[in-house]
């Protein structure tokens, strides 16, 4: 598999790993999302000083207001985060 195909497969696997904690593999609860973010993005969260960051992220991801984050909502978050990282690295490379 190509690097991008592998990354896509890993993204799906990571979502599934955390979503299944409560028995529903289709969505992430706030607790599951918190665990995912703490385990998979430890450097992002430790750098932040906002104690309510998880709540804010969850609220912004839950577009349909069902108190769960489905795979589509998760992927939109991942894409936005990736874009921000890309922009950050481009700006720092230019310095």
Residue 41's pLDDT is: 86
Instruction: Look at the chain and report how many structural domains it folds into.
Output: 1
Give the SS3 label for residue 28: strand
Sign of CA dihedral 64, 8, 11, 41: negative
Q: State the Rg of the chain over Cα.
A: 14
Alpha-carbon span 58 to 69, nearest angstrom: 8
pTM (predicted TM-score): 0.81
pLDDT tens, residue by residue, 7-60: 999 999 999 999 999 888 999 998 899 899 889 988 876 655 566 777 888 888
Residue 91's pLDDT is: 85
What range defines the domain where residue 79 resides? 3-94
CATH code of 19's domain: 1.10.238.10
Alpha-carbon span 43 to 62, nearest angstrom: 23
Residue 51's pLDDT is: 63
pLDDT tens, residue by residue, 56-72: 888 888 888 888 999 99
Cβ–Cβ < 8 Å for 37, 54 = yes
């Amino acid at each position: 598999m190509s690097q991008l195909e592998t990354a896509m497969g890993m993204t799906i696997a990571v979502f599934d790993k955390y979503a299944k904690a409560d028995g529903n593999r289709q969505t992430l609860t706030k607790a599951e999302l918190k665990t995912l973010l703490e385990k998979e993005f430890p450097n992002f969260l430790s750098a932040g000083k906002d104690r309510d960051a998880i709540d804010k992220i969850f609220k912004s991801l839950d577009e349909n207001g069902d108190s769960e984050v489905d795979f589509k909502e998760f992927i939109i978050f991942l894409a936005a985060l990736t874009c921000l990282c890309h922009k950050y690295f481009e700006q720092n490379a230019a310095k």
